[in-house]
Every structure is written in structure tokens, then in C-alpha cells.
Amino acid sequence: METTQRARSDDFRLGGDLGVRRIGFGAMRLARDGWSGPARDPEQGRAVLRRAVELGVNHLDTADFYRSGDGAVRANALIREALHPYPPGLVIATKVGPVFGPKGPMPAPAAGLRALVEANLTSLGLDRLDLVYLRIGVMTPPHGESLAARFEALAALREEGLIGHLGLSNVDADHLAEARAIAPVAAVQNLFHLAKQDDAALLDLCAASGIAFVPFGPIGSGDGLDDARLATVAARHRATVSQTALAWLLALSPATLAIPGTGSVAHLEENLAASSILLTPDDLAELGLTTRRAR
């Protein structure tokens, strides 16, 4: 794999005080492959987590609802079993909002968020959560839906000391403005990747405000990775298309954080190696990156 010598910052301060590397790890695929796949081997999940920390990952993104269909394998339990007592500087972000039943995910009411936060505290073996996202909707932002009551409930838990920083997931600019009128927002986590750039303006808004923009599905779960431009740039750097898609995300803005997830040690190592790919201006132009977001 080849890189250029163009300088790039590989760190970000979440909420102004939590220093993280810009490629972290998303825990969704630890318990099973996607939302409906079979349960994974728990020992393999623990091995992935240990290797991630060995390789310098200090930002884990998880949720108490990341679990196998039968609930036997749970991402938070694997994190605790593999890494507790947690190494200094490890930032663990989680999310609350949906509750899952026979008819699929439903939004938890504001009064139910304390129980969800406490479930994360218990399953992770923590007294305080570094970052908690309020997730609304399922895969796309529910435009026009107020999040004020729910965000106020999380802000109250932050005042109690159960939460360090607050984030939002699956939101639009109006949601962000509504939340910021209540309490500081440290990060926004929306679906975003090379083939889905609907939230480019929201990314710009986050960057201008010192808010981290943390795409979920950062390599599109395969969607869009057949782009011929991406394959050309990847070949130029002797990298995979997945690595190049991650490098593209890092090139968007100093505020973007990537959290690719996997249940494989080999795939983990491949993902983290993307941090060494420094795309050239020609690469970025070929991939259609606009200069107002590029470094």
C-alpha cells in the first residue's frame, strides 16, 4: 500500500476534551453479522476487541441493543469481558432511543431513557458513559419530529454525572439546532459514505461548530463500493476499495470520525491500515470531493 506525504491530523477532541484517533471501532458486528445474521463466536469478538486496542484504537462505538437474535451474544458484554478494567484514554460511546419488540424498533419515551442508560452502564461495567447518542428514527432522519423531551431527559442524566457528553444519531439540521438549545452536542452519527452523501451540509455544519461527524455504515456495507473511480484510486495506492472509502471519509473534514465494524481480526487490521492512506488532490477530485470540505 502506498501513501502520499501530505500532512493530516489523525486525532480529534470529542466534546473538546476526549482525545480520540479518527479511525475507531464500531461494535455492531461483534454479536452477529448485521441486524439479521447468525450469532458470532464470542471468543472471536473478544479477540477482535483486544487486537483493536493493541493497534491503538481508543474510540469504541456500541449499544446495549447490539446483540444476537437470541440475546446470547451481546456486544457490551464482549467489550467488558475483553477490556475491563479499561485502559486509560479509551472512549466508549453508546446510543439509546430505540427499543426492540416483535414489531421491530420503536422509539423509547423520554421517561424510559434512564433505564436504557443504566442498562448500558451495567452491561459495560461503568459508573459513567463517555458519550451517549440519542438515536431517533431507524435508517433515515424523521424530519419534523421533535426530540426535545428525549434530549432534555439525557441532559438531566448528564447533569447527574451519568453521562459525560451527548450526541445525536439519525438527525437533520433542525434536530441539531433543537438539541443545541438544550445542551451541548459533541457528535452526530448519521448514515453517510461515498455513495450516500445526502448529509454533506450537516457535516459542514458540524465541522464549523466543533462537533464530530461520525458516519455509520462508513463503507456502505458494500453499497457503492463498485464505483469505478474508487477502484482506480484504490489501485493507485495499492489498497482495497474499503480502505480507500475510509480514507475518503477522513479526507472530507477534520471533524469526520470513522467507526468501521467487523467480527474478523484480519478485516479489523485492514480497516485500521486505511489511516495511512493520504489521498492526493487528484484522488479527491476523481472521487468528487468538494474543496470546501477537503483539508
Task: Considering the candidates 12, 25, 66, 192, report the single residue annotated as catalytic.
Answer: 66
Closest of 230, 232, 257 to residue 245, by C-alpha:
230
Distance CA 103, CA 124 (A): 27
Q: Is 104 exposed, middle or buried (0-12, 13-18, 19+ CB in 10 A)?
A: exposed
**Helical pair 75-83 and 113-124, crossing angle rounded to 10 deg:** 40
Residues 6+ positions from 269 with CB-CB distance below 8 Å: 51, 55
Q: Is 236 exposed, middle or buried (0-12, 13-18, 19+ CB in 10 A)?
A: middle
Distance CA 84, CA 240 (A): 33
Instruction: Compute the radius of gyration of the chain from its Cα atoms.
Output: 18
275 near 260, Cβ under 8 Å?
no
93 near 59, Cβ under 8 Å?
yes
Distance CA 70, CA 118 (A): 21
Check if 133 is active-site.
no
What does the DSSP 8-state code read for residue 111? G
Distance of CA 227 to the CA centre of its chain: 23
Q: Which sequence positions are flagged as catalytic?
A: 66
